[in-house]
Structure 1
Amino acid sequence: MNKKIIPLTAATLAVLAACGKAPTTESVTASPKATETITTEQNSQPQYQGKAVVYQVFTRLFGNTNTTNKPWGTLEENGVGKFNDFTDEALQGIKALGTTHIWYTGVPHHALIRDYTAYGISNDDPDVVKGRAGSPYAVKDYYSVSPDLAVDPANRLQEFQALIARTHQHDMKVLIDIVPNHVARAYHSLQRPEGVADFGANDDTSVAYARDNNFYYVPGEAFQVPEWPADYQVLGGEAHPLADGKFAENPAKWTGNGSRAAQPAFDDWYETVKINFGVQPDGSYDFDSLPAEYAEKDWQAHYQFWQGKNVPDTWIKFRDITLYWTGMGVDGFRYDMAEMVPVEFWSYLNSHIKQVNPAAFLLAEVYQPHLYRDYIKLGLMDYLYDKVEFYDSLKLVMQGKGPTSELVATQQRMADIEHHMLHFLENHDEQRIASPEFAGDARKGMPAMVVSTLISTSPTMLYFGQEVGEPGAADAGFGKASRTTIFDYWGVPHHQRWVNGGKFDGGALTAEEQALRQFYSTLLSFSRAAPALNGGYTELHSVNMAAGTAYSEQQLAFARYSAEQQLIVVSHFNAEQGSEFALTIPAELIAKWQLADGKYRLQDQLSGSSNELIIAGGKGTIAIALAPLGSVVYQLVR
């Protein structure tokens, strides 16, 4: 176990005390504010030689076995999953997919339409809530968890703590969302530690901006609910005492996506308010800039840079929030819309988190490629979504609209930061592969997942239900078809067949769904254990495109290797026809692997079948025969 001595402010000590982490006063640091230190012990890390595998689960939907699925249905009508649904059997099933980290999406208490006033929780106004179950990205209380997820809402935090413990017992790590850019319009924390003020509690609301305000304001104007489109009715048209087209907020606050109008548009993030990080309305910064040379410095140097600096109040609030959850046993965070928050804040926050847990897993949503390197190197992000580059290119290949050579080019563009670019085919924002709007066939995800998982050293993410071909086929109310709803109470049909009434054994899956899940399990478990995936990469596409064989833009081939393991990966993206060709292995790679002329056995890590690498004159050849949507992952057997 590693021990760290961490200097903490009095406010942060109160936060840690609230989650049961009693400080030990081993030293006092001289500073303008009295500080103390705390000793923490880190959990042991999951054991894997290959890459991390993140399983994203929408917590509210995972354990729900109710199949009613009435659009705009209530919790009582459509059901809801609970923390307690993640039983030992469920967690074993998740781990069988090769999972190292579970991202429990939608855990912090967000605005929703259900009466929990018996537990001291105020009702939320449907005019500023998306859906009935609410968006998980409109957080109402950062020091608590959603009451929907607890069997006993009074003990909701304890039930989540028990889930953290169970997850750790199964040798997996816990990630939750942090959404610094915005909070729910009616943010109010019931659970905040003593001495911690709510966002906005001390704001000067007479001005649009002040550095230590938590929000931006529209002085002299009251908030107005958006004008609803003709095809939209709040709660699907159901009568509700608060659904009156009004919401009391005076003066109005800026909306989460940056709208400065007192009446945001329906397409704005009207259910949220923008957080102020010390960025003035003209875009200039009201805090110390981070010198460019810190792009080459480690988190310890970043941590030291911020010591004694006068930072905006919002920065301190989010530091305390993340350290609260870290102290509770959460192992990392997925940051929503990180690019909308200045990189200096991320340097400050992430270095403080790493000071407490150097192994913390920090994943961010950034969609502008020109910002990637700043958020990795200056913002200290461990990983970013590789959405705009790799995912977008791969989606076109899956749809038959793009060449595989673009994947080679993308990988080359990302070469200097490829380890930090997390790969995925689905998440809660993206269309399901099996939906007609994407590929219309879950099997088309198979060669894509082989490529996405094995081409880089970065972690791989799998979205729950992807492994059984969930198509996201229905309109759930606010949520629409092609994406599994994040706004409504709902059951996820294909996934429910794996849940099988709470047995979590896949007993109700069709044969095709079972085979698909076994494919994902085999691939991702291999990736978790394969040392070659932390080693070298050589693209084989260019040489084979020039070879004059049947190899084409419908295939992608590459090699991955380390001293212990050498792999040849070939995937075929045609769903109608198979392909046969002689795959060329260039002399440079043969020399790197120190192979003499002769024949070498290859073992496919997906099917168990064997093949042969023939080397003559220093060049290699493999006879490849692939079924429609087939892949091979050949390991060299010396």
Structure 2
Amino acid sequence: MKLINKRVLVFIAVCLLFGGCNTEKKESVLVMEQMQKETPEDHKIIIYQMMTRLFGNTNSTNKPWGTLEENGVGKFDHINDAALKSIKDLGASHVWYTGVLEHAVCTDYTKFGIQLDDADVVKGRAGSPYAIKDYYDVNPDLAIDVKNRKAEFMSLVKRTHDNGLKVLIDFVPNHVARAYHSDAKPENVKDFGETDNTSLAFDPQNNFYYIPGEPFKVPEGYTPLGDTSFPTKDGKFDENPAKVSGNGAAVSQPSVNDWFETVRLNYGVDHVGDGTKHFEPVPSTWEKCRQILAYWAEQGVDGFRCDMAEMVPSEFWGWVIPKIQEVNPEIIFIAEIYNPNAYNEYIDQGKFDYLYDKVGMYDSLRAVMENRQGASAKHFTKVWKDLDGVNNHMLRFLENHDEQRIASEEFAGSAIKGRPAMVVSATLNSGPVMVYFGQEVGEPGRGESGFGGDDGRTTIFDYWGVPEHQKWVNDHKYDGGQLSDEQKELRAFYKQLLNVTKNSEVFKTGKLYDLQADHKNAEGFNADRQYIYIRYTGKERVLVVTNFMGESVSPSINIPEALIKEMGLTVGKVKAEELLTGKELEFELGKGSKLEIPAYGALMLKF
């Protein structure tokens, strides 16, 4: 594998440099082996993700399966200057407005000329934000004046930029809503499927895959909207021939566990046949997606989070991303991806700026936070080493709309337990960091919402209020006026950490030295429950020690002499600033200095 080969080459080079790697040079070689090999680059953007329809909603009714009128909905205009200033103050550089594009909903907007959606192919009353029904329009739920919805979104884009933040939105390339129809597309644009030959299961120039001769049937056992009613709830949906579902289920009656509310887009790969690729001439879907991305780039959007990007061929991304960069050279693309074996492909060939680090760092951090049997902080070392060469491109997070809330009983049960993991996420490498709205005040995602259920996640399918987040919203003052002292303290932690991370050169371009191996036998150090490393440049060094235990610990800190020399220092006492608290302290640069690490906390010592 490419990354392993790089490591081997570096090891050989080190051996030659130090005279064949004899025993006298063992410590120097060890120092190199514990250092990140890739050259650090400044990719330290801080993304604040919000579920846009929930963010500004102050209605606290929270009736299961409640309508928009009953449970309320957040609007574009609710995200006012006060909100954006607070997000900027938290440390964010980008806001990801999730669920902006028009998607299928079970709310009647026919008086505004918007087609009524069929409840039998909609998940939840508010609908999935990943079942897009018009790529050139925005969700009418989010507008105060539905007829003026696009202008209200553009005002939000301008307001975001005026507050020194950049705008990210979703691009959902793999699938669209079952009843996709754009009534807002530019005159020169044709709809997906408009010119398809529906008699063929696959054609490279078709936009969808078909099941010729078979009409679509609603999944057996699917009961939309629970026991509530809706005009189009009748157990039927008119689609003939049936299209292949979003997850690739090539059956006319998908199961309730399939992405049956969506249909898969065809990028010239014969997924219903032999899997062959047909990319010449350029498939119709490629060009239609380019038009969509260019449209929003021209509207001032600064980047796209691309849903399930690995289900779309990397050849398409490598073709389209440079074209959109011609519209805006600074635009960024983030891939939702879960296959580590494809990381290099989607960076090198696909031209993505950043990839999700879910199956590596998130999963490893979560296992230690939950204190699972066999879980160990030592595994964090393996994670960054496995990613050596792409660490700068990995987006780290502890929460997003797909994952359970840290404070939920299904995860850690307490937001405080997220503090050491958030420090590792933000400071271990030079890549981007993301927080999800409400994470910074300990929102637990509790409540039976409807389709979203009560599973430790904040629903993305239902009209809902987010109670702990609403305390910070405080009637759109966005000042945290209703937060408890504990919540204010938690938010202050996030604010300090994110701002230090974003503004410190050492976390943007500093080298990494992993000290975990040097502390396997250190007094008072539990290598399964504490994690320790140094980030450094020629002018700045920060020692980071994290503690995943519920009590404070005072381990003996051991920094090898070879590393001290590498940093241009000498053994002895140094004065340090603790970056999370601003306190000053003194410790021994070498071996044996004891430092107290707070329960579920960290020290970040700049010296």
User: TM-score scaled by structure 1?
Assistant: 0.87
One of 180, 197, 203 as aligned partner of 1:204:
197
1:238 aligns with 2:212: no
Q: How does 1:248-287 map to 2 (within 5 A)?
A: 248-280=238-270, 281-287=272-278
SS at match of 1:498: helix
Corresponding residue for residue 406 of structure 1: 379
Give the secondary structure class of the aligned counterpart of 2:465: coil
> Pick from 500, 506, 510: which aligns with 1:535?
510
Report how far residue 276 of structure 1 moved.
0.4
CA contact (8 A) 2:98 2:170 kept: yes
Distance 1:608 1:622, change over 3 A: farther
Distance 2:382 2:227 in 1: 49
**Is this contact kept in 1: 2:43–2:432, CA < 8 A?**
no
Q: Does 1:331 align with 2:319?
A: no
8 Å contact 1:605–1:634 — kept in the other structure? Answer: yes
Alpha-carbon distance in 1 for matches of 2:567, 2:453: 51
1:415 aligned residue: 388
Aligned to 1:342: 313
Number of aligned residue pairs = 562
* Corresponding position of 1:550: 525
The answer (yes or no) to whether the contact 1:218–1:253 under 8 Å persists in 2 is yes
1:118, CA displacement in angstroms?
1.4
Which residue does 2:337 correspond to in 1? 366
Q: Which residue of 2 aligns with 1:42?
A: none
Matched position secondary structure for 2:225: helix
8 Å contact kept, 2:473–2:479: yes
**Partner SS state of residue 502, structure 1:** coil
Q: Which residue of 1 aligns with 2:425?
A: 452
**Using the alignment, how far apart are the partners of 1:435 and 1:70 within structure 2?**
20
The yes-or-no answer on 1:122 pairing with 2:115 is yes
Letter in 1 for 2:176: V
> Which of 598, 604, 607 is residue 633 of structure 1 equivalent to?
604
**Which runs of 5 or more structure 2 residues have no equivalent in the other structure?**
1-40
In structure 1, C-alpha distance between the alignment counterparts of 2:129 and 2:43, rounded to whole Å: 32
> Compared with structure 1, are the counterparts of its residues 587 and 551 closer, same or farther at alpha carbon in structure 2 (3 Å cutoff)?
farther
| Contact 2:519–2:525 under 8 Å retained in 1 | no
Instruction: Select which of 235, 238, 247 maps to 2:237.
Output: 247
Residue 582 to residue 50, structure 1, CA distance change in 2 (3 Å): farther
Q: Is the 8 A contact 1:581 1:623 kept in 2?
A: yes
Please show how residues 444-483 of structure 1 align to structure 2 within 5 Å.
Answer: 444-481=417-454, 482-483=456-457
- Aligned pairs for 1:601-620 (under 5 A) are 601-615=575-589, 619-620=590-591
Runs of 4+ in 1 over 4 A off after TM superposition: none
Contact in 2 for aligned 1:223/1:263 (Cα 8 Å): yes
CA contact (8 A) 1:587 1:620 kept: no
Change (3 A) 1:564 1:359: farther
Please say if 1:179 is aligned against 2:154. no
CA contact (8 A) 2:171 2:305 kept: yes
**1:428-477 deviation line (CA, Å, top 9, x unaligned):** 00000001110101100001101111001110000000000000011200
Match of 1:135 in 2: 128
Deviations 1:47-95 (A, max 9, x none): x977210000000000000000000000000000000011100001111
Q: Is the 8 A contact 1:60 1:82 kept in 2?
A: yes
Q: Give the Cα–Cα distance (whole angstroms) in 2 for the partners of residues 181 and 125 of structure 1.
A: 21
CA–CA separation in structure 2 for the residues paired with 1:69 and 1:187: 30
Q: Which one of the candidate residues 422, 426, 436 is aligned to 2:409?
A: 436
Answer yes or no: is the 8 Å Cα contact 1:140–1:187 preserved in 2: yes
CA deviations on 1:204-257 (whole Å, 9 max, x unpaired) are: 00110111100000000000000126xxx3212112221000000000000000
Q: Are residue 521 (structure 1) and residue 521 (structure 2) matched?
A: no
Question: Which residue, 471, 493, 496 being the options, matches 1:497?
Answer: 471
CA deviations over 1:264-307 (Å, ceiling 9, x no partner) = 0000001000100001123534434xxxxxxxxxxxxxxxxxxx
CA separation in 2, counterparts of 1:450 and 1:622? 22
Is the deviation greater in 339-348 or in 354-363?
354-363
8 Å CA contact retained: 2:404, 2:457: yes
What is the Cα deviation at residue 382 of structure 1? 0.5
CA contact (8 A) 1:612 1:623 kept: no
The match for 2:285 is 314
Q: 2:122 touches 2:261 (CA, 8 Å); kept in 1?
A: yes
Structure 1: distance between partners of 2:326 and 2:562: 43
* One-letter amino acid of the counterpart of residue 58, structure 2: T
1:367, 1:50 → 2: CA distance?
21
Aligned pair 1:623/2:594, yes or no?
yes
Q: Verify the 8 A CA contact 1:164 1:174 in the aligned structure 2.
A: yes
Aligned to 2:326: 355
SS where residue 167 of structure 1 aligns?
A: helix
Deviations 1:368-398 (A, max 9, x none): 1111111111101111110001100110000
In 1, Cα distance between equivalents of 2:547 and 2:146: 49
The 3-state SS of whatever aligns with 1:436 is coil
Q: 2:146 aligned with 1:153, yes or no?
A: yes
Cα distance in 1, alignment partners of residues 43 and 554 from structure 2: 30
* Secondary structure at 1:580 match in 2: coil
Q: Which residue of 1 aligns with 2:481?
A: 507
Q: Which residue of 2 aligns with 1:305?
A: none
Secondary structure of 1:366's aligned partner? coil
Aligned-partner Cα distance in 2 for 1:239–1:51? 48
Amino acid of the structure 1 residue aligned with 2:265: I
Question: Once the 2 structures are TM-superposed, how far is the Cα of residue 535 of structure 1 from its aligned partner?
Answer: 1.7
Is this contact kept in 1: 2:42–2:431, CA < 8 A?
no
Alpha-carbon offset, residue 587 of structure 1: 1.3
Other structure's SS at 1:521 match: helix
CA distance in 1, matches of 2:269, 2:458: 35
Secondary structure in structure 2 of the residue aligned to 1:90: helix
CA distance in 1, matches of 2:368, 2:526: 15
| Change beyond 3 A, Cα 1:283–1:567 | farther
| SS in structure 1 at match of 2:474 | helix
Label 1:203 to 1:276 Cα distance change in 2 as closer, same or farther (>3 A): same
Asked if 2 retains the 8 angstrom alpha-carbon contact of 1:278 and 1:312, the reply is: yes
Residue range with higher mean Cα deviation, 235-244 or 548-557: 548-557
**The one of 572, 578, 589 aligned to 2:547:** 572
Q: Do the aligned partners of 2:65 and 2:125 also contact (CA within 8 Å) in 1?
A: yes
Per-residue CA shift, 1:86-134, capped at 9, x if unaligned? 1100001111111001000000100001111111100001100000000
Greater shift, 65-74 or 554-563, is seen at 554-563
AA partner of residue 247 (structure 1): F
2:38 corresponding residue in structure 1:
none
Per-residue deviation, 1:599: 1.9
| Aligned 8 A contact 1:175 1:332 in 2 | yes
CA distance in 2 between partners of 1:549 and 1:435 (Å): 31
Alpha-carbon distance between aligned partners in 2 of 1:284 and 1:336, rounded to the nearest angstrom: 22
| TM-aligned CA deviation for residue 361 of structure 1 | 1.5
- Aligned residue for 1:303? none
Task: Answer whether contact 2:309 2:337 (CA < 8 A) is retained.
Answer: yes
SS in 2 for 1:54: strand
Q: Distance in 2 between matches of 1:421 and 1:376?
A: 10
In the TM superposition, what whole-angstrom CA distance separates every residue of 1:400-422 from its partner, at most 9, and x where no partner exists?
Answer: 11100001111111111001110
Give the drift of 1:549. 4.2
- Pairwise mapping of residues 88-103 of structure 1 onto structure 2 (< 5 A)? 88-103=81-96
Match of 1:13 in 2: none
* Secondary structure at the counterpart of residue 553 of structure 1: coil
Q: State the shift of 1:355 in Å.
A: 2.0
**Mapped partners of 2:466, 2:539: distance in 1:** 42
- Are residue 167 (structure 1) and residue 142 (structure 2) matched? no
Which range moved further: 458-467 or 369-378?
Answer: 369-378
Aligned-residue RMSD, C-alpha: 1.3
